[in-house]
């Protein structure tokens, strides 16, 4: 059955909001617009969109602070993909956005064709895990248990507080345990395409992931100049 997807667009540039809305509605998306992050936070208390498009430089709460806020909540919105919009062509803001849990970014001005392609790709990648081919519902490694449909991870009886991207990285490493995952591979597989400064983005997520894993952090092994792999260790002793 066809489900009409809803996209929340947050930008203080009225002309851009109008053109983006028109283009997305032509593709049969529901579109809700806001001019501030504060308005968007209030809206997210009432509904959960399928995708959010967020300008980095908003008045008041910035796009980065909005992303940080959303990713730190326990609401369904923390799993919603985010595309950042920016006029800044430097790496700093873009990399920071990806480190905070953004999924993609576009530099203004951008073509509507490329924008639509990115939107559709992110929505395809965010379909419920239980409907994806080849994805196990539960992945186990020692005391670690990953519930893919519910996006939950447990070590013994402790629930881990992981960001959506940390969750995806962990799933991939554990599912392909023993195999080296290069930073480039992780970036392309999880974010959908290579980015500037791939190493910094991946390494930041791995650092946070290890911190959350506590006694099992040594299972993520650094392979020098390549990337990372998951190795099972006996963490029950002692």
Q: Which domain holds residue 193?
A: 132-230
Same-domain pairing of 140 and 49? no
Six token digits for residue 40: 């968007």
Is residue 237 in a domain? no
Contact present, 110 and 128 (Cβ < 8 Å): no
pLDDT of 158 reads 92
Closest CA to 9 of 122, 119, 114: 119
Please identify, among 98, 127, 156, the residue that sits at the C-terminal boundary of a domain.
127
Contact present, 209 and 193 (Cβ < 8 Å): no
Q: Which residues of the chain have pLDDT under 50?
A: 129-134, 237-238
Report how far residue 21's alpha carbon sits from residue 6's, in angstroms, rounded to the nearest whole number.
11
pLDDT (tens digit, 9 = 90+) per residue, 83-123?
999 988 777 878 888 888 899 999 999 999 999 999 998 88
**Residue 169, CB half-sphere, CA atoms under 13 Å: how many?**
31
pLDDT of 212 reads 93
Question: 8 vs 46, 78, 205, 208, CA distance in Å?
Answer: 13, 14, 26, 28
pLDDT of 238 reads 42
Split into its structural domains, the chain has a count of 2
DSSP code at position 13? -
**The CATH number of the domain where 208 resides is what?**
1.10.10.10
Is residue 84 in a domain? yes
Q: Who's near 61: CB < 8 A, 6+ residues apart?
A: 36, 37, 38, 41, 69
Enter the pTM of the model.
Answer: 0.74
List 6's β-bridge partners, or say none: 30
Please identify, among 109, 127, 145, the residue that sits at the C-terminal boundary of a domain.
127
Give how far the C-alpha of residue 120 lies from the chain's centroid of Cα atoms, to the nearest Å: 15
Same-domain pairing of 91 and 45? yes
């Amino acid at each position: 059955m066809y489900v009409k997807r809803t996209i929340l667009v947050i930008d203080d540039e009225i002309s851009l909001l109008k053109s983006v809305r028109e283009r997305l509605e032509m593709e049969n998306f529901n579109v809700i617009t806001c001019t501030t992050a504060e308005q968007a936070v209030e809206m997210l208390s009432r509904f959960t969109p399928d995708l959010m498009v967020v300008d980095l430089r908003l008045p008041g709460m910035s796009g980065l602070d909005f992303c940080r806020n959303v990713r730190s909540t326990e609401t369904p919105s923390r799993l919603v993909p985010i595309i950042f919009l920016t006029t800044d062509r430097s790496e700093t803001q873009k990399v920071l956005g990806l480190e905070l849990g953004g999924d993609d970014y576009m530099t203004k001005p951008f073509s509507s064709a490329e924008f639509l392609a990115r939107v559709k790709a992110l929505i395809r990648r965010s379909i419920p895990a239980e409907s994806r081919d080849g994805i196990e519902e539960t992945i186990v490694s020692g005391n670690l248990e990953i519930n893919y449909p519910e996006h939950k991870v447990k070590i013994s009886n402790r629930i881990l507080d992981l960001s959506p991207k940390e969750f995806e990285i962990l799933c991939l490493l554990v599912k392909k345990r023993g195999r080296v995952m290069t930073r480039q591979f992780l970036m392309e597989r999880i974010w959908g395409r290579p980015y500037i400064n791939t190493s910094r983005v991946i390494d930041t997520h791995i650092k946070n992931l290890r911190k959350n894993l506590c006694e099992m952090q040594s299972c993520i092994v650094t392979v020098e100049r390549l990337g990372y792999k998951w190795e099972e260790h006996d963490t029950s002793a002692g």
